Amino acid sequence: MTDYTDIINLRHSIHRHPCLSGNEGETAKTIVAFLKKCKPDELMTNVTGCGIIAHFKGKKTGRSLLVRCELDALPITEASGVSYSSVYKGIAHSCGHDGHMAILCGVAKTLAESRDKSGNNETEFGDLLDKGDIYLLFQEEEEIGTGAKKMAAELRKKKMKFDYTLSLHNSPGHKEHQIILFNKTYAWASTGMEILITGHTSHAGNPQDAANPTDVVIKLIESIRKLDKTNAFSTIVNFTVGTKDYGITPGNGAVRITARANEDAELKRLTASIEKNVKKIIETENIKFAKTHKGKTEKGAAKNAFKYSISYSDAFPATLNNLSFSALVEKVVKNLGYSTKRNPVGEFGSDDYTYFTHNTKATFFNIGAGEKHVPIHTPKFDFDDNLIPDGIDIICSVYKQIQQTQ
């Protein structure tokens, strides 16, 4: 059995020194140092910032595979208690990206060993680099949703095309080592929406003189919740009214939500419905205010007491699987002896991997980290090192299988 001690140690080192999105330089330096030892045919660094691509060429022409992982950590203070905990307060690998990087580094090591020993057939995969091309991509800025779009654009600029693209994620809540497969949708589309409401203040002793947006905000929240469906819903992440000053009646408010849907078209319908509700509520409240304040305010103020604006951020398109490639991956993992589980709905969380899926056969799968494993994006989370051999095993086997696909 292959010894992955060095890969596990690499993972712990990365975990100890996490980097936030847009500032992954320290992590990238560690990854590049390791990859250089694996002697890829081409090593691209500083791709759109901190991104890395290691290219291993086969001896003969064959099919190409791009495998992607993520470089960034989260703005969370770690409380896992492991000996290799983050040395940086407020930054931690609480999503498992350190483990995903370790898996791809393990693939690089396996490819290097396969190349060195191909004449002796001493690796469990035989001669992996007999034909084809495999690209290992380490993406920056996944957590903020900007990295994949930039890197995918750079790949197009360089005219780099791939027959297949693949990515994976650790998945607490499922049996350890179980492979979770998906139908059409892997990750739902999502977008942040900020709805700002502007009225006008008054002295807190004369609240009747203010255009107080409190009722508007409450009605907005109630209307947004009523739009939830099985394939599209919203989460109220924050709402505010006024300030902390006890002498001032509120004159402004805000509702911030994350809207999600299983497909891009459904998300568009959901956000359009929200915008329609906002417009209707504001118009209704303005009519009501004008009737109760006729002649009591400055000219025109009662008619348009409340105004609003809507802005969008953190938008992620839905990540969709190629069904034929997904079936190939399923066949491979079953042949390897892994138990499988199918998720017909997809992950409610979003992922910018979708930008790598255009004009290629792409799929995404999860590896179970244990039914009672601490959830991702929480202070006590730590990646399960037992999943590293699984990821290496599956990626290498999938790459070998696609070279045999007609």
Q: Is 53 helix (H, G, I), strand (E, B) or coil?
A: strand
Q: Using an 8 Å Cβ cutoff, are 360 and 63 in contact?
A: no
- The partner residues of 68 in beta bridges, in order of sequence, read 137, 167
- The partner residues of 162 in beta bridges, in order of sequence, read none
pLDDT of residue 120: 52
pLDDT of residue 121: 46
Counting every residue written for the chain, the total comes to 406
How far, CA to CA in Å, does 218 sit from each of 206, 257, 296?
21, 14, 25
pLDDT of residue 295: 56
Amino acid at 99: G
Q: What is the DSSP string of 63-82?
A: EEEEEEEE---BS-------
- Biggest CA–CA distance in the chain, Å, is 94
| Domain boundaries defined on the chain | 5-188+318-402, 190-315
The CB density around residue 237, as the number of other CB atoms within 10 Å, is: 12
Between strands 60-70 and 164-171, the pairing is parallel
Q: Using an 8 Å Cβ cutoff, are 74 and 92 in contact?
A: yes
Dihedral pair phi/psi, residue 399, rounded to 5°? -60, -45
Between strands 340-343 and 179-182, the pairing is parallel
Of 31, 35, 32, the C-alpha closest to 14 is 31
Tell if the pTM clears 0.85, that is, is over it: yes
- Token look-up 């589309």 returns 189
- pLDDT digit of tens for each residue in the chain (406 aa)? 578 999 999 999 999 999 999 999 999 999 999 999 999 999 999 999 999 999 999 999 999 999 999 999 999 999 999 999 999 999 999 999 999 999 999 999 999 999 876 555 455 777 899 999 999 999 999 999 899 999 999 999 999 999 999 999 999 999 999 999 999 999 999 999 999 999 999 999 999 889 999 999 999 999 999 999 999 999 999 999 999 999 999 999 999 999 999 999 999 999 999 999 999 999 999 999 988 887 555 544 556 799 999 999 988 999 999 999 999 999 999 999 999 999 999 999 889 999 999 999 999 999 999 999 999 999 999 999 999 999 999 999 999 999 997 6
Q: Using an 8 Å Cβ cutoff, are 14 and 105 in contact?
A: no
Of 185, 187, 152, the C-alpha closest to 322 is 185
Of 184, 106, 26, 47, the C-alpha closest to 385 is 106
Distance CA 83, CA 242 (A): 45
SS (H, E, C) 206-243: CHHHCECCHHHHHHHHHHHHCCCECCEEEEEEEEEECC
Of 382, 402, 340, 397, the C-alpha closest to 365 is 340
Q: Domain spanning 190-315 has what CATH number?
A: 3.30.70.360
Amino acid at 4: Y
Q: Is 127 helix (H, G, I), strand (E, B) or coil?
A: coil
Indicate the class that CATH gives domain 5-188+318-402.
alpha beta
Q: What is the DSSP string of 14-50?
A: HHHS---TT--HHHHHHHHHHHHHH--SEEEEEETTT
